Amino acid sequence: MFVKLPKHIGGIDYRQMDLQISYEGAIEYFDVDLPKKQYVLDLIPERYQKDFALALMKINQPVPPHTDSQIKCTINIYLKTEPCMTEFYRVKPGATIYQVDSQTNGVIFNKRDLESEGGFVAGVGDIWVLDVTQPHSVEPINEVTERIAITLATADHDFNEVIEMLSETRNL
C-alpha cells in the first residue's frame, strides 16, 4: 500500500512549468524542469523508465479519500511538507463514491465508508512509494499551506511490480 525508501534526497532544484491537470485546485500536477532528472529516474531500472511520467505535484488544502485517475503507482519525493497525514483505507461494503470533473477512473469516497489501514507523515527529502489504486487522503496535522513533491507515476505497473523494480536497483 505504501513503503518508505531508505534513500533520502534533499535539495532538489526544479523549475515549475506548464500545468498538466488540476483536481479542483486541491491537487495540481505540472511539467517540471529538473536538472537532476536522471538521478531521480535512476531509482528504477532503465528499461522501465519510459513507463513513468515525471511531474511536480502541489497540494494546498486537505485532500479527501480518493483513488488516482490513470495511475497505478507513484513514487513521491517530498520537497516541501507541512505536517500532513497521508492515510490509506479499506472500503466498506455499499460505499458511496463520486467524481470531480477532471477525474477519469479515479473516485472520491465519503470517509464514513472507509476503515483506516495506516498512514504516514512525510518529511522533506523522504521518498514514498504509493499504491494509488487504494483509497487514500492527505489531512493536515495543523494547517496546510503548500505541499510539493516530485512524482514518478506509472499507469503500466502496479505497486508490487514497482517494489520489485526498486529492489532491483537496490533502492529498497
pLDDT at 65: 93
pLDDT band at 25 (very low <50, low <70, confident <90, very high): confident
Task: Kindly list the structural domains of the chain, giving each domain's residue range(s) and its CATH number in brackets, ordered by start.
Answer: 2-168 (2.60.120.10)
Instruction: Give Cβ neighbours of residue 4 (< 8 Å, ≥ 6 apart).
Output: 120, 126, 127, 128, 129
Residue carrying C-alpha cell 476503515: 115
Chain segment 126-142, per-residue pLDDT in tens: 999 999 999 999 998 88
pTM above 0.75, yes or no: yes
d(CA 7, CA 129): 12
